[in-house]
């Protein structure tokens, strides 16, 4: 560049620079997934503000084109898949969109420079990467759109749902073409909306590179145009409007300020993005004692804000976006002179981390799903087909869920009762010890690891000695996640008692959970979360569909060969349908075929090891001796291996061992009850409180029973309804602390309160 300008001006703004190649790919309207000409066929010029020359001609949309776009958006919302996708599915697509933006950073930054005069170096380093991160942030929120359960003042059950508003109209300003595009588009996509986007006519190129659809008018621009948008919305269908309009923001600098720092902030406040920022600090108010020194310092520092070609790495101020804006700024400078303000300088023409790491980890799991599913089958006897279709993808989605939460760990600003300013910080708890059971090696590994990684913790993980293989596949930066395979009595005990472990998370039996808690108390009083045993009830009422009830009861106990802490091992059937239920149960139980877990037709695999195999068979013998009637099964299912026939006992009494103890195998205890009250009493007659099931067509019964059962989760007309977003954990001796959902993340954080005094505040 010849004679690159200083002090905010330049006599010669010619730049012998190598400009990154930027093919103008899109100049047509994007409607219904296709690039199309405008109905009128009209086009308009888009200008390079560095030279004032035409870059390209772009299709000029009008009312007819808006009607077509809104129609496409309406059809997509009313009949298309986007609003109906699970939040996690929308998030996955948004993450892919963000990755695609990362791959085209230089091209997109070039478009914004050519079209808006924005600094190329800033666009490449800041604006375009922030666009991708905005998408990722809202992708992480897409599966966390929660309503609330309301505590009503009368005998009513109520809750709120957050539903997508519909077709959204997004009107984008020209000062930050890419950034403002995704500030609007990202949350609307995450919410499940469809949209019509109108970029500024001055800067359409990058928007056409992105392109999408709309209804709830979301507008960013001047106050005058915002007023017109609101009037149009009121005159049509009273659509809601959000307006982010103009500003004349003040910056107050007090006598005790560091003057150099204050001058830098004042210049940044108004010169950043050549002042084309709605929050630009254009009114700087300096306290009188430092005013003169501040002015001198400001004059010197203003020289550092070099004006030049935005592609040049030394430029700090590029051209105004177009001739109209250039002339508007120059006219205000002339107004200032005429009204008596002193021109000090210038006045003339100048010629989001951890979440990313977790997401990559999840992608790696997806790529190795077959191998991981095979390890689970070999190691734990789990069904290969189910591992591949459910368990391993669930583990990857756990990582993605908490990756999306990693940048949403927010404290609260407190409303204090005195002249104090208070807020809370959520900080990672430190080094976490995870002790993993053997029944769901991969799922339970990541139900512990994923939220603690998102929280910022480091960890030592001890997988079960019976199932170490899949855990050893984990890979994350050195020192963050450490996997130690060993026995519970040695390695597990060492984690629980270690003075440098800040938290222990344990899933397993109540007996071992008690030992973990004692070790934590005797060492450094580390907090403990325990997900322990269960003896979960399934209550089936007279109005239930009997065939469906039978299927759910069998699923509740025989899924994963009964090796599930939440297994529905106690089934209570109301007397009106009991006999019919028993007959159908005996027939349908035969469909639960026992066999090699690698065989896709198998529904029940082997118990995890000889110890568990013999334990289950011993409980079956106890049931026979105590007088229960064996309806089905009750024997080993093969001469070799640890296979047991799916087993159902009837005529079970509450005091029998098979009704009291957690067996952790394919053994159902079937009982009868008369009234709703009796069913609730039987269901709660256990030391455990992990899970429960209700089968009924009556909303009244479902509401009454779900509030009466003392368990951490109640599944209504379903069972094993686990979901990443739904907290899971027990009452009573089933432990405390939750896995899944945002509650799981919070158990790896600790709250710090920060308080400072405030003086002469206009309000508390």
CA dist list (Å): 108 to 276, 585, 623: 19, 63, 71
**Residue 624: CB partners within 8 Å, gap ≥ 6?**
630, 634
The arrangement of strands across the sheet holding 413-414 comes to: 413-414, 420-428, 749-757
Q: In whole angstroms, what is the distance from residue 716 CA to residue 641 CA?
A: 36
Nearest to 35 by CA among 72, 6, 82, 9: 72
Is residue 168 packed enough to be buried (19+ CB in 10 Å), middle (13-18) or exposed (0-12)?
buried
Handedness of CA 306, 312, 314, 317 (dihedral sign): positive
**For this structure, is 511 an active site residue?**
no
DSSP-assigned letter for residue 743: H
Q: Is 522 helix (H, G, I), strand (E, B) or coil?
A: helix
Contact indicator for 515, 522 with CB cutoff of 8 Å:
no
CA dist list (Å): 397 to 143, 331, 385: 11, 56, 18
Contact indicator for 192, 83 with CB cutoff of 8 Å:
yes
Contact indicator for 193, 215 with CB cutoff of 8 Å:
yes
Nearest to 706 by CA among 471, 550, 537, 483: 537
Contact indicator for 492, 697 with CB cutoff of 8 Å:
no
Contact indicator for 125, 324 with CB cutoff of 8 Å:
no
**Catalytic residue selected from 216, 276, 531, 563:** 531
Name the residue with tokens 């998102």: 454
What tokens does 557 get?
A: 């106990």
Please name every residue paired with 30 in a beta bridge, in sequence order, or none if there are none.
35
Rounded to 5 degrees, φ, ψ at 506 are -130, 135
CA dist list (Å): 753 to 46, 422, 468, 756, 763: 53, 7, 40, 10, 21
Nearest to 212 by CA among 375, 376, 26, 45: 26
What tokens does 569 get?
A: 């091992």
DSSP-assigned letters across all residues of 577-635 = THHHHHHHHHHHGGGS-B--TTSTT-SB---SSHHHHHHHHHHHHHHHHTT-EEEE--S
**Catalytic residue selected from 60, 244, 626, 743:** 244
Name the residue with tokens 């001058």: 263
Q: In whole angstroms, what is the distance from residue 623 CA to residue 548 CA?
A: 27
Rounded to 5 degrees, φ, ψ at 263 are -65, -40
Q: In whole angstroms, what is the distance from residue 439 CA to residue 422 CA?
A: 45
Helices (H), strands (E): how many in the chain? 25, 30
Contact indicator for 494, 421 with CB cutoff of 8 Å:
no
**For this structure, is 276 an active site residue?**
no
Contact indicator for 487, 463 with CB cutoff of 8 Å:
no
CB atoms within 10 A of CB 682: 18
DSSP-assigned letter for residue 505: E
Q: In whole angstroms, what is the distance from residue 145 CA to residue 161 CA?
A: 9
Is residue 123 packed enough to be buried (19+ CB in 10 Å), middle (13-18) or exposed (0-12)?
buried
Handedness of CA 694, 699, 705, 711 (dihedral sign): positive
Residues annotated as part of the active site: 244, 531
């Amino acid at each position: 560049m010849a004679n690159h300008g200083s002090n905010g001006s330049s006599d010669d703004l010619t730049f012998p620079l190598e400009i990154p190649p930027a093919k103008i790919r899109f100049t047509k309207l994007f409607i219904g997934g296709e690039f199309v000409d405008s109905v009128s066929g009209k086009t308009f010029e888009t200008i390079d503000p560095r030279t004032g020359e035409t870059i390209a001609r772009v299709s000029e949309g009008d009312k007819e084109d808006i009607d077509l776009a809104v129609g496409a958006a309406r059809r997509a919302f009313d009949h298309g898949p986007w609003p109906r996708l699970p939040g996690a599915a929308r998030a996955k697509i948004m993450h892919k969109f963000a990755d695609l933006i990362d791959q085209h950073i230089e091209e997109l930054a070039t478009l914004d420079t050519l079209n808006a005069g924005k600094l190329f170096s800033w666009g490449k380093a800041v604006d375009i990467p922030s666009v991708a991160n905005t998408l990722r942030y809202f992708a992480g929120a897409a599966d966390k759109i929660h309503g609330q359960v309301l505590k009503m003042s009368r005998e009513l059950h109520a809750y709120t749902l957050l539903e997508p508003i519909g077709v959204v109209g997004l009107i984008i300003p020209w000062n930050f073409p890419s950034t403002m595009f995704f500030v609007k588009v990202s949350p609307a996509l995450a919410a499940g909306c469809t949209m019509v986007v109108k970029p500024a006519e001055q800067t359409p190129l990058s928007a056409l590179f992105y392109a999408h659809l709309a209804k709830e008018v979301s507008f960013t621009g001047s106050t005058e145009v915002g007023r017109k948008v609101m009037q149009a919305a009121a005159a049509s269908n009273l659509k809601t409007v959000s307006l982010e309009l103009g500003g004349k923001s003040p910056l107050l600098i007090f006598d005790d300020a560091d003057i150099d720092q204050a001058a830098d902030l004042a210049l940044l406040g108004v010169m950043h993005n050549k002042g084309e920022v709605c929050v630009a600090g254009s009114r700087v108010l300096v306290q009188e004692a430092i005013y003169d020194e501040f002015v001198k310092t400001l004059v010197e520092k203003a020289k550092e804000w070099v004006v030049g070609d935005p592609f040049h790495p030394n430029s700090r101020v590029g051209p105004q976006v177009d001739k109209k804006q250039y002339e508007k700024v120059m006219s205000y400078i002339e107004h200032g002179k005429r009204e008596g303000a002193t021109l000090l300088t210038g006045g003339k023409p100048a010629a989001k981390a951890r979440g990313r790491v977790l997401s990559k980890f999840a992608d790696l799991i997806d790529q190795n799903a077959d191998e991981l599913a095979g390890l689970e089958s070999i190691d734990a006897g789990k069904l290969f087909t189910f591992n591949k279709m459910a368990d391993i993808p669930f583990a990857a989605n756990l990582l993605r869920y908490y990756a999306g939460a990693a940048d949403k760990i927010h404290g609260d600003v407190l409303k204090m009762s005195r002249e104090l300013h208070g807020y809370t910080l959520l900080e990672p708890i430190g080094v976490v010890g995870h002790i993993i059971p053997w029944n769901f090696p991969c799922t339970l590994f990541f139900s512990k690891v994923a939220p603690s990684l998102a929280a910022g913790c480091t960890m030592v993980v001890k997988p079960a000695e019976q199932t170490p293989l899949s855990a050893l596949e984990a890979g994350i930066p050195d020192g963050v996640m450490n996997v130690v395979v060993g026995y519970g009595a040695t390695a597990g005990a060492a984690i629980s008692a270690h003075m440098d472990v800040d938290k222990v998370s344990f899933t397993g039996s109540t007996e071992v959970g008690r030992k973990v808690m004692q070790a934590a108390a005797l060492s450094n009083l580390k907090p403990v979360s325990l997900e322990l045993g269960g003896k979960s009830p399934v209550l089936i009422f007279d109005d239930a569909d009997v065939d469906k009830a039978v299927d759910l009861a069998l699923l509740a106990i025989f899924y994963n060969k009964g090796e599930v802490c939440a297994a529905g091992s106690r089934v209570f059937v109301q007397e009106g349908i009991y006999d019919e239920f028993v007959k159908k149960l005996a027939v349908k139980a035969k469909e639960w075929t026992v066999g090699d877990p690698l065989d896709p037709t198998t529904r029940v695999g082997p118990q995890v090891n000889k110890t568990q195999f013999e334990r289950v068979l011993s409980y079956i013998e106890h049931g026979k001796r105590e007088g229960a009637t064996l309806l089905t099964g009750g024997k080993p299912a093969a001469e070799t291996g640890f296979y047991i026939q799916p087993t159902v006992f009837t005529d079970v009494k509450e005091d029998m061992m098979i009704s009291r103890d957690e067996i952790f195998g394919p053994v159902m205890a079937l009982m009868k009850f008369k009234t709703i009250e009796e069913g609730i009493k039987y269901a709660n007659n256990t030391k455990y409180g992990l899970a429960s099931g209700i089968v009924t067509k009556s909303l009244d019964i479902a509401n009454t029973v779900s509030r009466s059962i003392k368990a951490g989760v109640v599944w209504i007309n379903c069972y094993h309804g686990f979901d990443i977003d739904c907290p899971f954990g027990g009452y009573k001796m089933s432990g405390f602390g939750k896995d899944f959902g945002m509650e799981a993340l919070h158990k790896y954080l600790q709250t710090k309160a920060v308080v400072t005094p405030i003086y002469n505040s206009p309000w508390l």
